[in-house]
Structure 1
Amino acid sequence: MKIIKQFSPNEFVFDNLKDKKTREIILGEDNLKIEFNKIIDSQFLGGNIENKYDEYKDFLGLGIYSKAPCGGFINFYKIRSVKKTNYVIYSGINEVSNSHYVITIHMVLTF
């Protein structure tokens, strides 16, 4: 695993009541199209990386009861770039109120 890009605390924040449903992350000559509703849909599973959740937490030095840096629930979401490279988005998901979510993207990782 390797950290490809790291964002400052409030650099890449999505609010599902205010923002567009998709955004892009530029990674040099490649880019990722983030669909935030898919990240929200995977929140109760910790993402869509199946049985690798603990492996990613260990790599980042996160404990059993850790939260994401933004205070939200940890989410690791696997995504394929425009150039077909696989990445994992590390984010925190906060449910502000019923069906109102704020997602903070913290890192882009490779696996």
Structure 2
Amino acid sequence: MRIHFGQNARSCSFRQYDFETEENFRRYGAADPPRYNLAEFRLQFIFFWGEQDAMVSPPDIQRLANDLSPAALRAVIRVNDDTFQHLDFLVARDAKVLVYEHCLP
């Protein structure tokens, strides 16, 4: 799983596992793995981003949001804290108020 994550990060795309050229041809019929068709996703998404996130940038979020169908993207929300980082979504004491209460009905 970590390898697949790194492949997607290096390619700046969200695509299937890269087995290298020969195996990709066998599995996918092409040298490169196909991109996931995010326009077909039917789940609804809310993207949150933090100003100090070193792993996900606003252009990354915008690129992903553009690939989703309009019906799937509910919102893109900047966390209202200039110091919010990637791991803060998991460990920040105020994550519940800054992020997760937005998701509650």
Q: TM-score, normalised by structure 1?
A: 0.22
* Larger RCO: 1 or 2 (CA < 8 Å, sep 6+): 1
Q: TM-score, normalised by structure 2?
A: 0.23
The higher radius of gyration belongs to: 2
More helix as a share of residues:
2
More strand as a share of residues:
1
